Amino acid sequence: MRAFVITRYNEEPREAEVPEPVVGDRDVLVRVEAAGLNQLDEKIRVGEFKQILPYKLPLILGNDVAGTVMDVGAEVQGFTTGDQVYARPDKDRIGTFAERIAVSEADLALKPSSISVVEAGSLPLVALTAWQALVERGNVGPGQKVLVHAGAGGVGSIAIQLARHLGATVATTASAANADFVRELGADTVIDYSSQDFEQVLSDYDLVVDSLGGKNLERSLRVLRPGGKAIGISGPPDPEFARTAGLNPLLRLAITALSAGIRRRARKLGVTYEFLFMRADGDQLRRISALVDDGELRPEVGRVFPFDQTPQALQALAQGGIRGKAVISHT
């Protein structure tokens, strides 16, 4: 089958003929009809995560899929041929920039019936990231205050909507050109990052969801109330991540050192920092599907590329400026 692969880090993906996916007893073979693009794809391509995600090369990139079930393993009970599904495959089984992929039944869900397959392909990774940040880690509820950075981006555009659904007051950072867009998503306060300092405007927030890292993350700690929490989705990784990922002792020490500074600053301010590397979860996707079909969440697709233009799509992602998500379509 056709797929786009990298044979070494920091090279452009190239089209290649690769073997058909192996379908295990609890796997579902999916014909890929749409595949969302994520910053994670670019980070993997350039080798940024090669220490904590040691993929074997050559590698098919791609972390989002929507499509049609072609076959199921002998022990699969929840899906049948012809079902319209979507997923973020497990981190060890990525590869959606291809014609077909085998996905564990546990990571798969029926796609929301109210949206197109391209829209569904944009959702899994960013929606699961928002869910795990706001619901699992943040315990967000009515009356809380949440700051979502980069609100016009893939994660941000979903996180704003989910935080509002959970009853929170939402602030976000965005460009002036995207101010109306993020307000339509549900942002109560919009900070123009090019002309305003969010530190000077916001205070006493319960939760910050940060996708930018660096100085932006450090400054975010100072808008939290005592006991508040900052969740970083671009790093630095923390010791808890190293432990749950089962990394070797040397890597655990290195990761502990990487995040020591931000964790120390957080403690001095009486707040906490956590790194979130989202995980695949079909049950959570089913709950997300219900919210989409109830009109509580809507996917935002900024650009669609044909499958043949997968390398150009990754280049556009790296250049930035895409509102919502970019998606590769096979239709």
**What is the C-alpha separation between 102 and 298, in angstroms, rounded?**
27
What's the domain count of the chain? 2
Q: Are the CB atoms for 203 and 223 separated by under 8 Å? A: yes
Co-location of 135 and 267 in the same domain: yes
Co-location of 163 and 67 in the same domain: no
Per-residue pLDDT, 165: 98
Co-location of 169 and 268 in the same domain: yes
The enclosing domain of 137 has a CATH number of 3.40.50.720
Note whether residue 290 is domain-resident.
no
- Give 24-60 pLDDT, tens digit per residue: 999 999 999 999 999 999 999 999 888 888 899 999 9
Per-residue pLDDT, 199: 96
Co-location of 115 and 251 in the same domain: no
Co-location of 159 and 251 in the same domain: yes
Per-residue pLDDT, 64: 98
- The pTM assigned to this predicted structure is 0.97
Note whether residue 66 is domain-resident.
yes
**What is the C-alpha separation between 192 and 296, in angstroms, rounded?**
26
Co-location of 115 and 138 in the same domain: no
Note whether residue 183 is domain-resident.
yes
Task: Give the amino acid at 44.
Answer: I
- Give 78-91 pLDDT, tens digit per residue: 999 999 999 999 99
> Integer distance in angstroms from the first to the last C-alpha of the chain?
16
Please spell the DSSP secondary structure of 249-287, one letter per residue: HHHHHHHHHHTHHHHHHHHHHT-EEEE------HHHHHH
Co-location of 155 and 247 in the same domain: yes
Note whether residue 19 is domain-resident.
yes
* CB half-sphere exposure, 192, CA atoms < 13 A: 8
The enclosing domain of 317 has a CATH number of 3.90.180.10
Averaged over successive runs of 10 residues, the pLDDT of the chain (331 residues) comes to 97 97 98 97 92 90 98 98 98 97 98 98 98 98 98 97 98 97 98 96 98 95 98 92 87 90 97 97 98 98 97 93 95 83
Please spell the DSSP secondary structure of 302-321, one letter per residue: EEEEEGGGHHHHHHHHHH--
Co-location of 71 and 166 in the same domain: no
CA 171, 135, 106, 39 dihedral sign is: positive
The backbone torsions φ and ψ at residue 244, rounded to the nearest 5 degrees and listed phi first, read: -70, -25
Per-residue pLDDT, 52: 81
Domain that holds residue 60: 2-123+299-329
Per-residue pLDDT, 38: 96
Co-location of 205 and 256 in the same domain: yes
Co-location of 23 and 80 in the same domain: yes
Per-residue pLDDT, 321: 86
